[in-house]
Amino acid sequence: MAQAEYRIAYTVRRSDRARNARIVVDADGVEVVIPQRMALKHVEPFVQEKRAWIERTLRRIQAAEENAGIRLEDGGTVPYMGRQLVLRVLVEPGRVRSHVALGPGGVLHVKLGEPGRRPLRDALEAWYRKRTREEIAPRLDAACVRAGTSYKRLSVRAQRTRWASCSSSGAMSFNWRLLLAPAEVVDYVVEHEVAHLEVLDHSQRFWRLVGKRCPRYREHERWLRRHGPALRF
């Protein structure tokens, strides 16, 4: 007797900007984004149509998570620009603000006011956000000097599906989770966004410009597609 297929769990989100239905698969699960006027009865058939792709993507994310080296606990590890930092977590009851400091030998010391995965995750994210600006700013400045361009401002965010963005006004935004990737991937994303200061779209002209400044960009793009969904706490 054939085993019945399990139902894929997903959430549905209506979007004013969506012209067609699309499916987003990441470490948070499966989300179906649909236009405002699309009837809900069409969602399940659409998901079933894409079932094979969804399952492949979920398996790839699971494998990437297992290889990411992220263990949020005392003695665990987190990746940082290609290094594995060892966590040393100390709980000090009554502490109001968490404190995170990188010590010798790649040991990341974390002091918390209460135990638990959530306080540890929040403290680490705050530290990574601060470090993102410190790591990205000099890379961005240097890349702009080489390109003969300039940007307006730099912000750090936590986008779900974007690693970085460049607006038409020259405002730059980078995802803090980039620091969980190797340094060469971070460098590529910086060059990618600096190229957008000259070419806003992803035309052939844009990719020629990126290829000139980062010859291995295809390799870095593949790495992000394969491992990116697992770069999260």
Q: What is the CATH number of the domain that holds 199?
A: 3.30.2010.10
φ, ψ at 62 (rounded to 5°): -60, -45
Residues 82 and 35 in one domain: no
pLDDT of 3 above 60: no
**Residue 22, CB-side half-sphere exposure with 13 Å CA sphere:** 7
- Weakest-pLDDT range from 61-70, 123-132, 140-149, 194-203: 61-70
| Mean pLDDT estimate for the chain | 92
Distance of CA 17 to the CA centre of its chain: 22
State the average pLDDT over residues 96-103: 96
The pLDDT value given to residue 23: 94
The pLDDT value given to residue 115: 93
Domain that holds residue 16: 11-67
State the average pLDDT over residues 111-130: 95
Task: Give all strands of the β-sheet with 83-91 in edge-to-edge order.
Answer: 77-80, 83-91, 107-112, 99-103
pLDDT of 182 above 60: yes
pLDDT of 5 above 80: no
Residues 93 and 190 in one domain: yes
Residues 92 and 58 in one domain: no
29 confidence band (pLDDT: 50, 70, 90): confident
In a domain, 6, yes or no: no
226 confidence band (pLDDT: 50, 70, 90): confident
Residues 145 and 219 in one domain: yes
The pLDDT value given to residue 2: 43
Residues 159 and 120 in one domain: yes
Copy the structure tokens of residue 200: 């806003």
- How far is Cα 111 from Cα 89, in angstroms, rounded to an integer? 6
Work out the percent of the chain whose per-residue pLDDT is above 70.
97
State the average pLDDT over residues 101-123: 95
Domain's final residue, options 32, 49, 67: 67
Domain's final residue, options 67, 93, 113: 67
In a domain, 40, yes or no: yes
